[in-house]
Amino acid sequence: MQKPKILIARAIPPAALERLAGHFDVEANQADELWSRAEFTERMSGKDGAFTTGGERIDAELLAACPRLRICANMAVGYNNFDVPAMTAAGVLATNAPDVLTETTADMGFALLMATARRISESEAYLRAGLWNKWRYDMFTGTDVHGATLGVLGMGRIGQGVARRGAHGFGMNVIYHNRSRLDAQTEAACKARYVSKEALFREADHVVLVLPYSKEAHHTVGATEIGWMKRTATLVNIGRGGLVDENALADALGEGRLLGAGLDVFEGEPTVNPRLLALKNVVLTPHIASASVPTRLAMANLAADNLIGFFSGAGPKTPLNPDVLNRRA
């Protein structure tokens, strides 16, 4: 029996590739080449499935060029690279990789919060440049994390992980805003209090963004929201770059209207707004919130599970548009 043909769009852990090779006729990209849109479309032609990593756009145009395609499995919790309605209309299943990266990403969110509040990157650059020749009482003084007010915008699994770390590890007063309020039991576990969006930005000493991206969420944090924040506050984004108006943020950071920011995601990534690069009071990391060896392997294996389950008949674990399965049943 002929194996289904799949494309693996980027390099993945060798163990996951070995698993997939046992089930499929695989075209892999372990050289991790960055294909143009035309090259990606050409390689997708004739494939039954695809393993994507969050940067490969699956939309109506590509789907029309790839009529054999039946499933795309994202090795990411986010899926703004998928036009899910177009995929559903074409009968193509979309899957993502939630849950397995929750705790690791929450760790990174808190790491960025700490680094921003205590000016870690700025002081390290100063030391490495050979500028440290004496101690001063106000040298790189930042702001405290313990006992401060933590505001979490987006209280899904990762947001709750950040809230728990703040409340239980650092004795923080945790407030949050979400599209819908959490149940009382979850609020109690996170020691979190629900507030309006404006109250969150006005009250918090440290704001962490953990929202998914959508057109409606574009620039959720702009000049207005930043203007509500304390001058001594910090802003951390581990959600998606498009959530923040980066020019408004650069204005506030450059003018001293905000203590600092920690950013793992960017609107035009991998290109970074040059205004942010020029600022000392912003910690910048290249979208690595889930980058631990065990977590990245777990993400790859979940994407592989979705492909294997779909074609074996056992079913995918994390479908985004399960109606496609019902139509095929």
Residue with tokens 């990789």: 97
What is the per-residue pLDDT for 328?
Answer: 58
Q: For the residues of 198-214, what is the DSSP string, one character each?
A: HHHHHH-SEEEE-PPP-
User: Residue 323 maps to which CATH number?
Assistant: 3.40.50.720
237 phi/psi in degrees, rounded to 5:
-125, 110
- Amino acid, res. 306: N
Closest to 229 (Cα-Cα) out of 247, 253, 210: 253
CA distance 105 to 46: 36
CA 66 to chain centre: 28
Domain co-membership, 63 together with 106: no
Domain interval for residue 190: 102-284
What sign does the dihedral 167-230-196-214 (CA atoms) show? negative
What is the per-residue pLDDT for 293?
Answer: 97
Residues labelled as active-site residues: 240, 269, 287
Domain co-membership, 106 together with 84: no
C-alpha distances in Å from residue 162, one per residue of 47, 111, 175, 196, 327: 40, 10, 11, 19, 39
**Burial of 173: CB neighbours in 10 Å, binned 0-12, 13-18, 19+:** middle
Domain co-membership, 17 together with 78: yes
Domain co-membership, 248 together with 152: yes
Domain co-membership, 66 together with 130: no
Please give the tally of structural domains in the chain. 2
Domain co-membership, 185 together with 324: no
Element (H, E) at 116: helix 102-117
Domain co-membership, 89 together with 125: no
% helix, strand, coil for the chain, step of 5: 40, 15, 45
Domain co-membership, 91 together with 80: yes
- Per the CB < 8 A criterion, the answer to whether 248 and 226 are in contact is yes
Joined together, the tokens standing for residue 13 give 């852990």
What is the per-residue pLDDT for 1?
Answer: 75
Domain co-membership, 132 together with 254: yes
**What tens-digit pLDDT sequence spans the chain (329 residues)?**
799 999 999 999 999 999 999 999 999 999 999 999 999 999 999 999 999 998 899 999 999 999 999 999 999 999 999 999 999 999 999 999 999 999 999 999 999 999 999 999 999 999 999 999 999 999 999 999 999 999 999 999 999 999 999 999 999 999 999 999 999 999 999 999 999 999 999 999 999 999 998 889 999 999 999 999 999 999 999 999 999 999 999 999 999 999 999 999 999 999 999 999 999 999 999 999 999 999 999 999 999 999 999 999 999 999 999 999 987 55
**Burial of 151: CB neighbours in 10 Å, binned 0-12, 13-18, 19+:** buried
Domain co-membership, 163 together with 199: yes
Domain co-membership, 144 together with 254: yes
What is the per-residue pLDDT for 54?
Answer: 87
Domain co-membership, 95 together with 106: no
- Per the CB < 8 A criterion, the answer to whether 177 and 231 are in contact is no
What is the per-residue pLDDT for 275?
Answer: 98
